[in-house]
Amino acid sequence: MTTHSVAEEKNSLSELIDRALRGEGVIVTRRGTPVVEVRAIRPARPSLAAADIEWLETHRIVPRPGFESPSQSLSALRDEADA
C-alpha cells in the first residue's frame, strides 16, 4: 500500500484512481496523518435469487403431453371432496 500527501495527489486524482483499480492500496495523508484510503469498489454480484431463477429457467423440465399439472390434480381432488 502506498502513501501520498493531499498536496501530491491534488493534481493526480485520475492516476490515483487507476492505481486503485489495478488493486494497489492507496492512502492519502494530510500533514503526515493518514486521512483517506482509496480502493476500487468490487462489482456488485447478482443476487442469489436472480441466479437461482436463471438456473431454473435453463433447467426447466417440460411435462409430457397429456400429463396433468399439479393445479389440475388439486382442483380435481377438491371437486371430489366437495361432491
Task: Determine, yes or no, domain membership for 7.
Answer: yes
Task: Determine, yes or no, domain membership for 64.
Answer: no
Helix, strand, coil: what percent of the chain each, to 5? 45, 20, 35
Look up the pTM and report it: 0.42
In CATH, what number is assigned to the domain containing residue 23? 3.40.1620.10
Q: Average pLDDT, stretch 71-80?
A: 92
Work out the number of other CB atoms within 10 angstroms of the CB of residue 40: 15
Q: What pLDDT does residue 62 have?
A: 80
Residue 74 in this model has a pLDDT that exceeds 80: yes
Provide the domain limits for residue 16: 2-38
Backbone angles phi, psi at 12, to 5 degrees: -130, 40
Number of domains in the chain: 1
pLDDT tens string 6-60: 666 677 888 888 888 898 888 888 888 988 888 888 877 777 788 888 888 899 8
